[in-house]
Each structure stands twice: as C-alpha cells, then as structure tokens.
Amino acid sequence: MILERFRLDGQVALVTGGSRGIGLAIAHALGEAGARLILSSRTPRPDAVYGLEAKGYEVHYIQADLGNSADAARLVEKAAAVAGRIDILVNNAGISRHGATETFADTDYDAVMTINVDSMFKACRAAIPLMRGQGGGVILNIGSISGLVSNIPQQQVAYNTSKGAVHMMTRSLASDLAPDNIRVNAIAPGYITTDMTNGGLANPDWAPTWMQMTPMGRPGSAEEVATAALFLCSPAASYVTGEVLVVDGGYTAR
C-alpha cells in the first residue's frame, strides 16, 4: 500500500532540461512510476527519447530554448496541447557560470538569470492556471546547495544568487498555491556527476576541496537526485510543500 503511493500512473510530467543529466534521470524515475513524459531541451537528443521509449514509457519531446524566457510559457502551452494536461512540472533546466564578480560579463549574468530564474518563473506562471483547473498539481524546482551556502574555491556569485532565488520562489509559490492543491518543492543537489559538473570534478584545484567538504567523500549520481524527485512528485509526499530537499552527501552539514 505504501509503495503504491509512489505511483504516477496516467499523470503527465513535463521535464525541462530533460535530455541529459539530472533531468533525464528524473524522467526515467517518473516514467518507471507510470507517468506520461514530455521532455524538453534546447538541443534535441533523440537517443534520450529512444532510451526512455525502450523502457516502455510514453514520451513526447518539445524543443525549447529557455535562454529566451518567452519560450517557457510557449513550452507549457505546447505540452498541455500535446498531452491534454500537465500534472507535474519539473523545472530542471539550468546553467552555471563562474568568475570574479568585478570582471563578470553582463552576457553571462543575463544568461544565468534568464534560464535559472526568469524562465522558471514564467513556466510556473503558465502552469498554474492549468493545474488549478485540473484540481491540483505538483511543481518541482531544481535548486542547488549553491542557494544555501557560498561554495569554495570557485567564485560564482551570479549562480549562487540565481539558486537562492529558486528556493525563495519555491517557498513563496508553495504558500500561495496550497489552497489550490498545488504542491511546490525544490531539490538542492550537491556535487553530482553530470556534464555540468564533470569539468569541476576533474579540476585539480576544485575537486579536492569539494570532496573534502562532503562527508560522504564522493560526488552523487543523477539517479540519487531522481529518487528524491520521485518522492516529491508522488502522492507519497502529499503533505510536503514549500520544502528544499538537500541531496548533497552531507556537504551543507559542515
């Protein structure tokens, strides 16, 4: 009976940035739980869709460039038109830029804020009326430990700021939307082995500090984030909203 509460049979889940890394792992977890999947990414990766279909999951793909924040609302509208509804919105798309603040380029700052914050806000804004009309839904935002602590040794003020905004957006939306039966939560991953972090994990100046500050002494896997996502998206978390679930091997415990 308890395991049944993790099932998502018949529900429609839209996953942005869903063609690789954490997003793709979340798509696999939601698909295994029975969700109908809609993946989106800036760059089409047919192999990601084929891999999901090979597992027997129902998958649709919609290309969208969330570097253009107007695409966020269009993506939600297209997804709803394809599937007839959206029960779960996973805002996973994001980018990172590093560098000293005094020399940080406007173009880099704008890109980080547009994708990590503006597009997420606009995707949520577009999904809310749909979910309200359906009687409820789930929004899951992917934040970061960088929204909770100032990581070292890399300098990344813009990225940290964007993820702090994601966490506050999550809490505020959760408070506003609880009467509509719309739950809103976030996950704050630590250092996870993905394309985004592989460069840093190979960096001899960064990786030793990262691992030293992580009590478990290793990076996490995308699948370890995906299982947390499944919990938050499923009826098993029916009384959980406004939370930022940290998945970081203990990094923020130190």
Task: Give 115's contacts (C-beta < 8 A, 6+ positions apart).
Answer: 66, 67, 93, 94, 95
Q: 191 pLDDT exceeds 90?
A: yes
Which pLDDT belongs to residue 195? 87
Q: What is the pLDDT of residues 210-230, one digit of tens each?
A: 999 999 999 999 999 999 999
Residue 109 lies inside a defined structural domain of this protein: yes
Which pLDDT belongs to residue 1? 80
Instruction: Give how many domains the chain has, as a whole number.
Output: 1
Residue 14 lies inside a defined structural domain of this protein: yes
Residue 118 lies inside a defined structural domain of this protein: yes
Residue 204 lies inside a defined structural domain of this protein: yes
Residue 252 lies inside a defined structural domain of this protein: no
Q: What is the pLDDT of residues 93-121, one digit of tens each?
A: 999 999 999 999 999 999 999 999 999 99
Residue 25 lies inside a defined structural domain of this protein: yes
Q: Are strands 182-189 and 59-63 parallel, antiparallel or unpaired?
A: unpaired
Q: 186 pLDDT exceeds 90?
A: yes
CATH of the domain at 185: 3.40.50.720
Residue 200 lies inside a defined structural domain of this protein: yes
Q: 254 pLDDT exceeds 90?
A: no
Here the tokens at position 153 are 């040794």
**Structural domain that includes position 88:** 2-247
| Residue 196 pLDDT class (50, 70, 90 cuts) | confident
Here the tokens at position 69 are 């924040």
| Residue 141 pLDDT class (50, 70, 90 cuts) | very high
Task: Read off the pLDDT of each residue in 125-132 and give the average, rounded to a whole number.
Answer: 98
**Which of 57, 61, 109, 159 is an active site residue?**
159
Task: Read off the pLDDT of each residue in 121-144 and give the average, rounded to a whole number.
Answer: 98
Rounded to whole angstroms, the Cα distance separating 61 from 173 reads 27
Task: Read off the pLDDT of each residue in 167-196 and give the average, rounded to a whole number.
Answer: 97
Task: Note if 57 is an active site residue.
Answer: no
Task: Read off the pLDDT of each residue in 6-21 and give the average, rounded to a whole number.
Answer: 97
CB 188 within 8 A of CB 245: yes
Residue 253 lies inside a defined structural domain of this protein: no
Q: 124 pLDDT exceeds 90?
A: yes
End-to-end CA distance of the chain: 37
Q: What percent of the chain has pLDDT over 90?
A: 98
Confirm whether pTM is higher than 0.95: yes
CB 61 within 8 A of CB 42: no
Which pLDDT belongs to residue 232? 98
Q: What percent of the chain has pLDDT over 70?
A: 100
